Homo-oligomer: A and B are copies of this chain.
Amino acid sequence: MEPIALELFERPKLNRPIFVEGLPGVGSVGKIAIEHLIAELKPKKFAEILSKHFPPQVMVDQSGRIKMFTNDLYYLKRAGKSDIIFMSGDTQAITPDGQYELSDFIVNFISDLGAREVYTLGGYNVGKLVEKARVFGAGTSNELIEKAQKLGVVFKTDEPGGGIAGASGLILAFAEKKKIPSLCLLGETSGFFVDPKGAEATLGVLIKLIDVKVNLSELEERAKQVEKITQRIHEFEESLAKPGAPSKKENLGYFG
């Protein structure tokens, strides 16, 4: 078995394609975002990537059929505009060297397909509840960074602290080696749950950068539900802070 195997259903001829990646990660922001794009734009699936760097298990779908973990590639043809390649997936590589190998493999593949721009999507964990999700950015091209700044993306020294982990970071790095301009968009998230707010904010920027029309109302709806839950948690926390209220410590005393 090859460490990484590509199953190619079709080798598309693409016009100066833009590549957009969203894999599972912090708050599932990247995965929610890419799956919403795929559901809305209905690109055509043309390849699957398998790897022994993925978790050693299979998934089971609703009809009882098993499915290997894959990263999946789709293309969207656009008249008069750059085509788009989307990559979603069930997982990222679970070992450090697997992360490097897969990101390198993917960038080589999309480079062969002629990719001219790379966008990676992820979450930025702020570790606390977020009222309005900001979008943080990092990139390899001043031009893309400036474009994104004008759309409100935050590029600042101390954010994102600790860099960008996993595929969203390494794909950028390997794209830079191939001189493909690339940008990572990270939707702010508490990291506490699967977070459509960060995904919605990220897509709000991305759709302008890659010039697609996508209905975000479903994500907005899901984001509002998360906001309601956020609100309730805030109220609960405030009630704990009032005099006479049980202290947080007491409240957790049954763990003691």
A211 to chain B, nearest CB (A): 22
Quick one: closest B residue to A61, CB to CB? Answer: B157
A251 interface residue (CB < 8 Å to B): no
Which of chain B's residues have a CB closer than 8 A to the CB of A105? 1
A46 interface residue (CB < 8 Å to B): no
Quick one: closest B residue to A255, CB to CB? Answer: B256
Q: Are B94 and A58 in contact (CB under 8 A)?
A: no
Interface string of A82-126 (1 = CB under 8 A from B): 000000000001111111110011000000000000000000000
**One of A35-43, A73-81, A132-140 at the interface:** A132-140
Interface string of A1-13 (1 = CB under 8 A from B): 1010000000000
Separation of A86 and B164 alpha carbons in the complex (Å): 28
Pick the residue among B54, B66, B97, B100 that contacts A138 (CB under 8 A): B66
A37-66, CB < 8 A from B? 51-60, 62-66
A94 to chain B, nearest CB (A): 6
Q: Are B65 and A145 in contact (CB under 8 A)?
A: yes
Q: Are A173 and B68 in contact (CB under 8 A)?
A: yes
Separation of A97 and B207 alpha carbons in the complex (Å): 37
Pick the residue among B1, B62, B67, B138 that contacts A60 (CB under 8 A): B138
Q: Are B52 and A97 in contact (CB under 8 A)?
A: yes
User: Given the known A-B contacts A58-B172, A163-B60, are A66 and B99 also in contact in the complex, defined by CB atoms under 8 Å?
Assistant: no
A220 interface residue (CB < 8 Å to B): no
A184 interface residue (CB < 8 Å to B): yes
A176 interface residue (CB < 8 Å to B): yes
User: Given the known A-B contacts A100-B1, A249-B254, A254-B249, are A145 and B57 also in contact in the complex, defined by CB atoms under 8 Å?
Assistant: no
Separation of A65 and B105 alpha carbons in the complex (Å): 22
Quick one: closest B residue to A166, CB to CB? Answer: B56
23 contacts between A and B (CB under 8 A): A1-B101, A1-B105, A51-B100, A53-B96, A56-B97, A57-B163, A57-B169, A57-B170, A58-B170, A58-B172, A59-B163, A60-B163, A64-B137, A64-B138, A65-B139, A66-B139, A66-B163, A66-B164, A66-B169, A66-B184, A94-B96, A97-B98, A249-B256
Q: List 4 additional contacts besides A51-B100, A53-B96, A64-B156; criterion CB under 8 Å.
A: A3-B97, A60-B164, A65-B140, A66-B184
